[in-house]
Amino acid sequence: MFSAFTRNRGIATLLFAAAAVTACDNYDSPIVPKAGSEELVLALKVSSMIAAPGERISVALDAEYSGTLAGVSGDVRFNSTKLRYVGQTVDDGIMMVNAKGAGEGLLRIAAAHQTGFAGDIGSLVFEVIGGDYLSTISFDAADAMALHADGARKIKDITVSRWAGEDRYLKVGEATIMTSDDWMRRLMPGRDPKFGTTFARPGDLAVPNLVYGDVNLSGGVTPVDLDDVIFLLNVTVGNLELIVDADSTTFGGAGAGRRDAVIAGNVDPINSPGLGEVGDALRPGINAPGDFGQIDLGDVIVVLNEIVNAAGQPVAGEIIPGRAPATPGRVVVSANITTSTTWTSNNVYEIQGGINVTNGATLTIQPGTVIEGQRGTGPGVGGAALFVQRDGRIVADGTPLQPIKFTCVGTPKAKGCWGGLVINGSAGLNEGTATSPIIAGRAATGNCLEKTGEGNSGLYGGCNDADSSGVLRYVVIEYSGFRFTTTNELNGIALQGVGSGTVVDFVQVHAGQDDSFELFGGTVNVKHLLLTAGSDDQLDWTEGWRGKAQFIIAQADSLDGDKGIEADGNSTAFGATPIANPKIWNMTIIGKFSPAGTGGADPNNNVEGGMHIRRGTRPDFNNFIVMGYPHMLDIDDTETCVTDANSAAFSMKNSAFQFYTTVNNTDGSDPVGCGSEEVFLAQGAFANQIAANGTATVVTLLAPYNVMTPDFRPAFGQAAGGGTPPSDGFFDTSATYKGAVAPANSAKANIPWYAGWSRPWQNPTLP
């Protein structure tokens, strides 16, 4: 199987790998690999250099490599006025071609072989339609993989020679546009593509014993097969999308939402010995902590290698952490937590009534743990909620593979079936009663304000802006929130007077009865929030919140929602200090697209507006995308627009606004200092993009209104022109794009930060 010298004509998909590329105008002078190196030399070959118009030619890659070449990917470019792509011939291995750009002279191709290429794996066939066609063909190498005794490895030293010359033995016979089903029929005759019946959700063991590589969720004795490989190859070249499959006929109409490429398919780099367990900082599929990975040729080869067990790599075929079947115990929690306690993932914890974490206790929740709140019998009656008091802490530190889930007991689940999570801290407010609160172990001096939280959630506020209430990371909170009265409510998550020492990162709040995420004063910084289907506002603050935030997605429930942002400074004294002046970078706010297809917001839906900024808050907004609302922005109250010694004025920069009925709110209460909302947003110094009308687009997002498999990524090449976030240790300064999610790469194969651990709606009409 392992040849001393491999010659191959391979083809493949656009990824990001270093390649040393040289051009050679001499058609018959291929480059020879460096002696003793693992250099891969690629060169194009053509069946005829002098074919006449109407004749067909075949083009293939010749590869020179001293090891066992498992796969190659890249772009074949040609002049579409001189050549017309006809199809491919099929020999050994698998070659996937994305021909969507053939009319513009681009083919994205990926080839893989489970034992290594030892000859032609097929070739691309063109019809000649113009002279001098030869000089227009080129190959841009993107990635290459080799098989070694310990698994698959990237080939880092790639050289491309433009031509190896003419090879009249290249096949120019029957050419076929090979689809995924064609490859399945060829490689697995008599067997239809198979797929799971559901997409695995965080905290649900919907696919017991799911292993890495089992992308189609098939399970069984041999869960990893060629169907998984073919799907990954399609994602790699961009034939199928990572998040949403636009071609509903492919794979029996299953689509990407019924496959798990994000977790099960993201296996390269292998990063052994860990599998992504708790404490494994470098799980499979990522290059560094904080990376979210992508599907590329390396993933294809690792999964393909697992099928033949050629190298025995340690990841593909292994059970994904958190997916082993288990029968959890059930622990009822009906008393306050007054001593430090750990909730473990082998139990479901049912909380009954209002449970307080207090008396200096820390509640630690293991990754993968499920917490279920007792259901209420009416609005705010008899249900459960978890209140972390000022003298308590919570450490709910999940992982991408094992998020922590808060929900309610039983099914069916609906908004407001339990109370939610409230965390009280001792950071400063601009509203409340003056006092000098002393919290055991967290004391701070001064005469500061404190308040009693709504829903009997306890006292919050104080003098300790650096206070730490613990950690929330990779946490999903669903179906929470009570409304006792219109001014007495529990939200999905309420952070009340929470300090900057608290960690809030990778948190989803789904289908809350009231606001999804509300901040009452404090200085807490938040990052990677996914706020979906709340009945009121998605992000809300008041009482002087002055923290930082980055990477926030707010997707409305268009039949039962309000605003993307509702922001207040103080409920009555709009100029109260400390001023609520949070700095927020990279946010995507999604309302509802008109079902009539006109592009504007649907006048019959219940979303009110994109952003309501009022009562003296003066946020600094940067790199936003706001779309799908009757109006984009409503500014109220003069105190919101002034600049004084306490705070700079409200600003909104480097952002995009589209799909609207009107840019401004027509309530007639525009404050002095800002002007109309449309004039405010159009200031030259703000550098915003505003669509010319409600049907125009300035930034294309891939599937922002989809509620089952949403794709909030801007399309490849979109969302440029954002500002550079501050370099202060909190913000990611590389996020110079508009919106909360990095744009898709050319194959749409880069994994967005919210994928794999967050949850969708129950079905397209029920959150």
Q: What is the pLDDT of residues 732-751, one digit of tens each?
A: 999 999 999 999 999 999 99
- pLDDT for the residue 118: 78
User: Among 100-109, 255-264, 342-351, where is mean pLDDT lowest?
Assistant: 255-264
**Which three-class secondary structure string do you get for 649-709?**
CCEEECCEEEEEEEEECCCCCCCCCCCCHHHHHCCHHHCCEECCCCCCCCCCEEECCCCCC
- pLDDT band for 33, please (50, 70, 90 cuts): low
Higher-confidence position of 257 and 548: 548
Q: CA-to-CA distance for 50 and 420, rounded, in angstroms?
A: 73
Per-position DSSP letters for 161-221, written without gaps between them: EEEEEE-TTS--S--B---HHHHHHHHSTT------SS---TT--SSTT-BTT-TT---SS
Q: CA-to-CA distance for 731 and 528, rounded, in angstroms?
A: 11
Taking CA atoms, 633 is separated from 567, 610, 658, 679, in Å, by 11, 6, 12, 11
- pLDDT band for 318, please (50, 70, 90 cuts): very high
CA 434 to chain centre: 43
How far from each other are the two terminal CA atoms of the chain, in whole angstroms? 52
Tell me what the mean pLDDT of segment 640-645 comes to.
89
- pLDDT band for 379, please (50, 70, 90 cuts): low
Tell me what the mean pLDDT of segment 696-713 comes to.
92
Taking CA atoms, 239 is separated from 16, 17, 230, 750, in Å, by 18, 20, 11, 14
Closest by CA position to 743, among listed 688, 710, 699: 699
Higher-confidence position of 596 and 319: 319
Q: What is the pLDDT of residues 279-304, one digit of tens each?
A: 998 999 999 988 999 999 999 999 99
pTM listed for this prediction: 0.91
Beta-carbon contacts of 548 under 8 Å, excluding residues fewer than 6 positions away, are 525, 526, 582, 583, 584, 730, 731
Q: CA-to-CA distance for 553 and 710, rounded, in angstroms?
A: 11
For the chain, the farthest-separated pair of C-alpha atoms sits apart, in whole angstroms, at 91
Mean pLDDT of the chain: 86
Q: Are 166 and 27 in contact (CB under 8 A)?
A: yes
- pLDDT for the residue 253: 38
- pLDDT band for 21, please (50, 70, 90 cuts): very low
Residue 84 has pLDDT above 80, yes or no: yes
Closest by CA position to 544, among listed 503, 502, 575: 575
Q: What is the pLDDT of residues 557-578, one digit of tens each?
A: 988 889 999 999 999 999 999 9
Residue 519 has pLDDT above 70, yes or no: yes
- pLDDT for the residue 359: 96
- pLDDT for the residue 247: 39
Tell me what the mean pLDDT of segment 378-406 comes to.
90
- pLDDT for the residue 10: 30
Structure tokens at 614: 């009022």
Q: Are 415 and 511 in contact (CB under 8 A)?
A: yes
Q: What is the pLDDT of residues 414-444, one digit of tens each?
A: 999 999 999 999 999 999 999 877 787 887 7
Taking CA atoms, 39 is separated from 4, 216, 491, 712, 742, in Å, by 14, 35, 58, 39, 33
Q: What is the pLDDT of residues 649-669, one digit of tens each?
A: 999 999 999 988 889 887 767
- pLDDT for the residue 147: 84
How are beta strands 385-388 and 421-424 bridged, if at all? parallel
Q: CA-to-CA distance for 365 and 403, rounded, in angstroms?
A: 10
Closest by CA position to 316, among listed 324, 325, 307, 328: 307
Residue 227 has pLDDT above 90, yes or no: no
- pLDDT for the residue 7: 29
Higher-confidence position of 248 and 362: 362
Beta-carbon contacts of 334 under 8 Å, excluding residues fewer than 6 positions away, are 351, 352, 353, 355
How are beta strands 689-690 and 656-664 bridged, if at all? parallel
- pLDDT band for 34, please (50, 70, 90 cuts): low
Q: How many CB atoms lie within 10 A of CB 366?
A: 18
Q: Are 365 and 356 in contact (CB under 8 A)?
A: no
CA 532 to chain centre: 14
Q: CA-to-CA distance for 585 and 551, rounded, in angstroms?
A: 7
Q: How many CB atoms lie within 10 A of CB 246?
A: 12
Could you identify the residue written with the tokens 């506002």? 537
Tell me what the mean pLDDT of segment 343-347 comes to.
95
Residue 12 has pLDDT above 60, yes or no: no
Residue 194 has pLDDT above 70, yes or no: no
- pLDDT for the residue 1: 23
Q: Where does residue 549 fall: left (phi above 0), alpha (psi -120 to 50 degrees), or beta otherwise? A: beta
Structure tokens at 627: 């779309």
Tell me what the mean pLDDT of segment 53-70 comes to.
91
Q: CA-to-CA distance for 764 and 370, rounded, in angstroms?
A: 24
Tell me what the mean pLDDT of segment 506-511 comes to.
98
Burial (0-12, 13-18, 19+ Cβ within 10 Å), 280: middle
Q: CA-to-CA distance for 466 and 389, rounded, in angstroms?
A: 16
Q: CA-to-CA distance for 405 and 398, rounded, in angstroms?
A: 9
- pLDDT band for 718, please (50, 70, 90 cuts): very high
Residue 32 has pLDDT above 80, yes or no: no
Tell me what the mean pLDDT of segment 176-183 comes to.
84
Q: What is the pLDDT of residues 109-161, one digit of tens each?
A: 999 988 888 776 678 999 999 988 988 899 999 999 998 877 778 898 998 87
- pLDDT for the residue 506: 98
User: To the nearest whole percent, how much of the chain has pLDDT over 90?
Assistant: 59
Q: CA-to-CA distance for 642 and 682, rounded, in angstroms?
A: 18
Tell me what the mean pLDDT of segment 187-191 comes to.
71
